[in-house]
């Protein structure tokens, strides 16, 4: 039963298609190709796109510049998902165009929290001197 593993790790094909969709969405948003002035005013980063195993659903994890206006950005993307889907499908050579979904990218929040932790005096001291025993 080779290739029938039930692992939750994405396949190479899922990763490849996800990255193609991410790049295409990023380009479309950067160029302001969508006919929505509100969306075109926003600067949105597409951090990652994850696809379902059958490639029928693609979830784009986004973050507006500065992290503010996240709900407005999600709403604008969802409002234009039909047009975005058509633009993405033009670039991809898949049998069918995946349904686009949008979610907030939480990894930036996690990186901020990690930076905050690393900046704490006791953590910084321990990192600088691994032999320190806290005495």
Per-residue model confidence as pLDDT tens digits over 64-108: 987 789 999 999 999 999 999 999 998 887 778 899 999 999 876
CATH class for the region spanning 12-104: alpha beta
Crossing angle of helices 81-91 and 70-79, in 10° steps, is 70
Residue 132's pLDDT is what?
A: 53
Alpha-carbon span 21 to 115, nearest angstrom: 30
Instruction: Summarize pLDDT for 52-67 with one digit per residue, the tens.
Output: 999 999 999 999 987 7
Residue 67 Cα distances to 30, 104, 106, 109, angstroms: 17, 10, 10, 9
Q: Which helix (H) or strand (E) holds 47?
A: strand 44-51
Every domain of the chain and the residues it spans: 12-104, 106-135
In 42-120, which ranges are continuous DSSP H helix? Answer: 70-79, 81-91, 107-119
Q: Is the pLDDT of residue 20 over 80?
A: yes
pTM: 0.74
């Amino acid at each position: 039963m080779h290739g029938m593993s039930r692992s939750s790790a994405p396949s190479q094909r899922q990763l490849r298609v996800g990255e193609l969709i991410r790049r295409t969405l990023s380009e479309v948003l950067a160029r302001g190709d969508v006919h929505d002035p509100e969306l075109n005013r926003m600067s949105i980063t597409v951090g990652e796109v994850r696809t379902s195993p059958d490639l029928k659903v693609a979830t784009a994890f986004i973050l507006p510049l500065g992290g503010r206006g996240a709900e407005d950005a999600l709403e604008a993307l969802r409002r234009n998902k039909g047009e975005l889907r058509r633009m993405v499908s033009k670039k991809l050579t898949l049998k069918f165009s995946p349904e686009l979904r949008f979610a907030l990218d939480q990894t930036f929040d996690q990186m901020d929290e990690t930076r905050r932790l690393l900046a704490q005096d006791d953590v910084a001291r321990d990192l600088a001197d691994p032999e320190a025993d806290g005495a």
